[in-house]
Amino acid sequence: MAKRALITGITGQDGSYLAEHLLAEGYEVIGVMRRSSTVNIERISHIQDRLTLLSGDLMDEVSLINVLRDCRPHEVYNLAAQSFVQASWSQPVLTGETTALGVTRMLDAIRIIDPEIRFYQASSSEMFGRVQAVPQDENTPFYPRSPYGVAKVYGHWITVNYRESYGLHASSGILFNHESPRRGLEFVTRKVTNGVARIKNGLDTELRLGNLEAHRDWGYAADYVRAMWAMLQRDTPDDFVIATGETHSVRELCEVAFAAAGLNYEEFVVVDPVFFRPAEVDLLVGDSSKAHRLLGWKCDVDFYGLVEMMVAADLQALQR
Ligand code: NAP
Ligand code: GDD
């Protein structure tokens, strides 16, 4: 009998790649979607026929209980969140409700319906914030710098707490930034690669950005979802940092992305204070040696391969 996996946030970047991975592993895949007035399945339309899509919302515990009761999954991947850091300052309470308390709602729904369900929580390197050590690993203390980061720290610790309190098979993946051609347009990598494509095609003449000196450890989303799945295949639940181990600045991102289209970023990038944050995370770089050792995980795509892939995809999309 095929294993059943339920994914919250299936319409998002990671949800789409994870669904593909689980289908390839022979799973029956159920996706939870919140209701919206328009159809929002662009990222999963190519596999839609192979998925079961159910309605549910992290703000509404009964909807989660009903979904679990109806489909009785073996594994739950909680990817849903208000995931845009910048928006978390304008909507701090909504961010806390979804990104923090939403995790407790799902964990309680699991306890009520079937405590044997294995659970994955999408934790984040944003929890390290003003970093207390370089590189960051599973033992680095958290110092979140945004309402989003604070909410993710709550989600992380409630996952650990339910594991320790109730013996749930609950694991937390502390994933560093991961990107792809399916990344939302407001995140800096996609904003840059889409901007490059628009400038190359004469649709824009400049690209307005915020802090060019922030450093991130950027990997490829399709590589990272393999780690999520691997965590739930272990006998023992645990927490893992998933990262490339390399860090690059937003300025380098611009340099590489514009160069991939034969352009010089200095002629087009305009620094605009509108995109600066009230508090910044200046430097992220992860140490995922524990994941290498215990999960056998490594990434296949590096920063340069990732940026070139994203520029090529955005150029192609505009040509279409
Ligand atoms: P994303 O593209 O923004 O997707 C977020 C998903 O959450 C969407 O499917 C969204 O649905 C759904 N969602 C939001 N609020 C919801 C609610 N109240 N109830 C049910 N679903 C809701 O994010 P992502 O990049 O795939 O990231 C996946 C998860 O990993 C998130 O929890 C994120 O915080 C975390 N994370 C991401 C990264 C990264 O670099 N990508 C790194 C570390 C951790 P709609 O389509 O309806 O908006
Ligand atoms: N979005 C954006 N837009 N960011 C900009 C811009 C801009 O115009 N200009 C500079 N940046 C800088 C931000 O200040 C930040 O330092 C960096 O680019 C990355 O910003 P984002 O791409 O928005 O990602 P993030 O690091 O804040 O958050 C992402 O990664 C987290 C993991 O560390 C999200 O995916 C989170 O959900 C995830 O948890």
> For 292-317, how does the pLDDT look when each residue is reduced to its tens digit (9 = 90+)?
999 999 999 999 999 999 999 999 99
- Residue 294: which of 244, 234, 243 has the closest Cα? 234
Q: What are 135's two structure tokens?
A: 């590189």
Given a contact cutoff of 8 angstroms between Cβ atoms, the answer to whether 207 and 194 are in contact is: no
Q: What are 24's two structure tokens?
A: 């390839």
Mutate to test the pocket of ligand 2, among 128, 178, 180, 216 (most ligand atoms within 8 A of CB): 216
pLDDT exceeding 90 applies to what percent of the chain? 99
Ligand 1 atom nearest to 40, measured from its CA: 46
CB crowding 95-126: b at 16 or more within 10 Å, else e = bbbbbbbbbbbbbbbbeebeeebbbbbbbbbb
The domains of the chain, with CATH numbers, are 4-178+220-242 (3.40.50.720), 184-217+246-283+301-319 (3.90.25.10)
Q: Is the dihedral of CA 56, 61, 63, 69 positive or negative?
A: positive
User: What pLDDT, on the 0 to 100 scale, is given for residue 311?
Assistant: 99
Question: Rounded mean pLDDT of the chain?
Answer: 98
Ligand 1 atom nearest to 178, measured from its CA: 40
> For 231-248, how does the pLDDT look when each residue is reduced to its tens digit (9 = 90+)?
999 999 999 999 999 999
Q: What are 34's two structure tokens?
A: 């919140």
What value does the mean pLDDT take over residues 61-77?
A: 98
Is the CB of 122 within 6 Å of ligand 1? yes
Q: What are 161's two structure tokens?
A: 């707490």
Is the CB of 14 within 6 Å of ligand 1? yes
User: What pLDDT, on the 0 to 100 scale, is given for residue 320?
Assistant: 83
Distance CA 113, CA 4 (A): 15
Asked if residue 53 has pLDDT above 90, the reply is: yes
Distance CA 86, CA 118 (A): 31
Q: What are 52's two structure tokens?
A: 């079961």
User: What pLDDT, on the 0 to 100 scale, is given for residue 1?
Assistant: 83
What is the reported pTM? 0.99
Asked if residue 229 has pLDDT above 90, the reply is: yes
Q: Whose CA is nearest to atom 28 of ligand 2?
A: 85
Mutate to test the pocket of ligand 1, among 10, 14, 172 (most ligand atoms within 8 A of CB): 14
User: What pLDDT, on the 0 to 100 scale, is given for residue 70?
Assistant: 98
Q: Whose CA is nearest to atom 25 of ligand 2?
A: 85
Asked if residue 290 has pLDDT above 90, the reply is: yes
Is the CB of 98 within 6 Å of ligand 1? yes
